[in-house]
Amino acid sequence: MKNVKNIAIIGLSPDENKASNMVAKYLQNEGFKIIPIYPKEDIILKEKVFRTIDEIDEKVDLVVMFRKGEFANEIFPSLLKKGIKKLWLQLGIKNEAVKAKCLENNIAFVQDKCIMQELKALK
C-alpha cells in the first residue's frame, strides 16, 4: 500500500449505508484518490464515475472490487491492458482462477479481506 495513490473501486454504491461507500469514504479520508466504477450515477463521493476500468484516463494503482467473485474474470483482461499491478477482492469475495492468473502475471492479489479493516490494523 506504500506506493498506492489512485484506487479504482468497482461496485462503489452511492448509498451511504453500503459497505462500498463506507470503505471508499474511509480511503478518501486516509488521503487516497478514489475512482468510482458503477453502472449509474455521474458523481459519487465528489468523484467522477466511470462505467469500466477501460474508461479511466489516469493511472490506477489498485483495483478494489465489491462485486461477486465471478466478475473478476471479466475485469482481469483490463488489468493487463492498463498495466494495473494490484487487485483486491473485498471481504466475502473470492476467485481462485483469477488469483492464479494474477500470480502468473506478477499482479499482487488479495481476496476475502476488507481493505479498511486491514489498513486500520496497520495503524
Whether 1 has a pLDDT exceeding 90, the answer reads no
**Are the beta carbons of 4 and 62 closer than 8 angstroms?**
yes
pLDDT band at 82 (very low <50, low <70, confident <90, very high): very high
Pick the CATH number of 6-122 from 3.40.50.720, 3.30.43.10, 3.20.20.140, 2.40.37.10: 3.40.50.720
C-alpha cell recorded at residue 16: 451511504
pLDDT computed for residue 120 by the predictor? 93
**Are the beta carbons of 65 and 72 closer than 8 angstroms?**
yes
Domain boundaries, the chain: 6-122
Query: DSSP secondary structure string, 48-114?
Result: E-BSSGGG--S--SEEEE-S-TTHHHHHHHHHHHHT--EEEEPTT---HHHHHHHHHTT-EEE-S--
pLDDT computed for residue 95 by the predictor? 98
pLDDT band at 114 (very low <50, low <70, confident <90, very high): very high
Whether 2 has a pLDDT exceeding 90, the answer reads no
